[in-house]
Amino acid sequence: MIDRATHWFYARRHLSAGASVENMRHDLWANGFYNIWLTLKKSDPPYRVTGLWGQEKFEIEFEPRHFLTIRTLKENEWLKKAFARVLGQPPHFQYEDRAGVVYEWRVADREARWQSMQGLPAYKNLKRFDLPVEE
């Protein structure tokens, strides 16, 4: 069984930025998502990472135990699936902003974040995936 992101994202004890990104990459590879490369760009929280999958570029911003966002130019089901598998759950939100499509996972302040995006023209096509389905 693969230990999903418990050492770099969910853990109470924080790793350095470089160790967190290296562990993130190892988790992606261990889950079968090869041909991905990550480069740390900002080493104080929230961390910023640029990524490359094949020829497709993307950006990650995260703060352990708080949030992780992935930003791509267009919708990318492969990245969404990869990080959902590594984090052990699908993204909580998906939306479009000026820079492209964003997938967002929230550990802290999820409801406040969702409410803060409502009605703002900067956020388009808001989708929320963490609510229970009504029968």
Give residue 73's pLDDT: 97
Domain-located, residue 92: yes
Domain-located, residue 89: yes
Give residue 14's pLDDT: 79
| Ordered DSSP codes for 70-93 | EEESS--HHHHHHHHHHHTS--SE
Cβ-proximal residues to 112 (8 Å cutoff; 6+ apart), any chain: none
Provide the residue range defining the domain that includes 93. 17-128
For residue 116, the surrounding DSSP H or E stretch is helix 110-117
Residue 37, φ and ψ in degrees, nearest 5: -130, 140
* Residue-by-residue pLDDT tens, the chain, 135 positions: 455 677 889 988 878 999 999 999 999 999 899 889 999 999 999 999 999 998 999 999 999 999 999 999 999 999 999 999 999 999 999 999 999 999 999 999 999 999 999 999 999 999 999 876 555
Give residue 17's pLDDT: 95
How far is residue 78's CA from residue 131's CA, in Å, rounded to a whole number?
23
Give residue 1's pLDDT: 40
Domain-located, residue 53: yes
Report the number of distinct structural domains present in the chain. Answer: 1
Domain-located, residue 96: yes
Identify the bridge partners of residue 61 per DSSP, sorted by sequence position: 48, 69
Domain-located, residue 28: yes
How far is residue 122's CA from residue 135's CA, in Å, rounded to a whole number?
32
